[in-house]
Chains A and B, each alone.
Chain A
Amino acid sequence: MTPPTDPFTAFAPALAGPPRLEPTDVSYVLEDTSLGRMLLAVRDDGRVLTTAFAPDAAHEQHWLERVAQRVSPRVLRHPRPTDAVRRALEDFLAGRARQVAVEPDLALLSDFQRLVLTGLAASVGYGRRTTYAALAQHLGRPRAARAVGTALAGNPLCVTLPCHRVLPAAGGVGGYAGGPAAKEALLALEARSAG
């Protein structure tokens, strides 16, 4: 006979699996796109909080914590509510659409990021490119090229708000959250499809 306390610690009932919970304030999914793994988070009203690159667990956690802090801690992994954004992203990446046709929610953006990213989306259309300095100039902050770069680097809505269209004046593609290869692929896609 085993010692009396042993079966307690050995208690291993047949567990059915994690709980099945209905979609709540924020639903997200990790999607393997042609550009890399992305975290797509959607509010309960359907507006999109992130289309962010999440190549590893640390990035995933970073974005989920931001969402929990700024929007609501009720965040659950749920594929169904993200169907629309997944489809829109797929259409864009296949060259069938000229923008990711979703309504973005800017709750995760700082005030300056809102200024920069909405200004960018409004002024630099599909297939066009600009530089950090030119964008800063356009926004009426000619000396803020570096701050503009930082604002773009923290973009939670990559591809949806087209930070990939901004390049360094010195040449090259510059940095990108999804890696330079993803930026090049996006620029090539737009150059090809803008025709």
Chain B
Amino acid sequence: MSLPPFQQLVDDHWRDVARLAHGLAGPVHGDDVAQQAWTQALAAYPRLTHARNLRSWLLTITHRCAMDHHRTRGRTTAHEDPASLAQAPVEPPPQAPDDVLWQRVRALPERQRQAVVLRFVGDLDHRAVAAALATSPGMSRRLVSDALATLRLELTDPEDPR
């Protein structure tokens, strides 16, 4: 058993971790969550017993950090609290087609939102999503498909049904 140098994990996966953190915690707190996830991962790294699927391991830690963040912040998301959006450090959240969609994603029931973000932003398979959410792959499938059905319904233009 040998673990690769930690720098290699950072170089290979920092973008995915940042994307997932942004998806789960929003543009204002995404960087903090990603930073916290990396600090925790570095501390725990030597205790890992195998080097299989390190990306999944990192994304699971990121997800946990984002959930801790939500718990301590009392679930204030940027669009509910415009003041927190004003503190955004560098870039405003991306405008254009994403914007409507992401508002809808934030409005989903919590479990569905977590599952859909892990599945599509984190690009995890259902087994990994289930592991992150402490549930079964079947339930993960169910959550994702319910979420997609809701989004599809909300985002389809009634004038132009496709």
Contacts and interface: CB of A to CB of B under 8 A. Distances in A.
Contact of B7 (A1, A7, A17, A76): A76
29 contacts: A1-B97, A1-B155, A1-B162, A4-B148, A4-B155, A5-B120, A7-B98, A8-B101, A8-B121, A9-B120, A10-B97, A10-B98, A11-B23, A11-B121, A12-B19, A14-B27, A15-B15, A15-B22, A16-B31, A18-B11, A19-B14, A19-B34, A21-B10, A21-B42, A28-B7, A68-B2, A68-B5, A73-B2, A73-B5
A195 to B, nearest CB: 42
Given A4-B151, A9-B120, A73-B45, A18 B14 contact: yes
Contact of B18 (A13, A65, A76): A13
B3 A14 contact: no
A8 B105 CA distance: 10
Interface of B: 2-8, 10-11, 14-15, 17-19, 22-23, 27, 30-31, 34-35, 38-39, 42, 45-46, 89-91, 93-94, 97-98, 101-102, 120-121, 148, 151-152, 155-157, 160, 162
Interface residues of A, number: 33
B116 to A, nearest CB: 8
Contacts, number: 105
A5 B42 CA distance: 34
A72 to B, nearest CB: 6
A14 B14 contact: no
B8 A13 contact: no
A26 to B, nearest CB: 8
B157 A15 contact: no
A6 B148 CA distance: 12
A68 B4 CA distance: 6
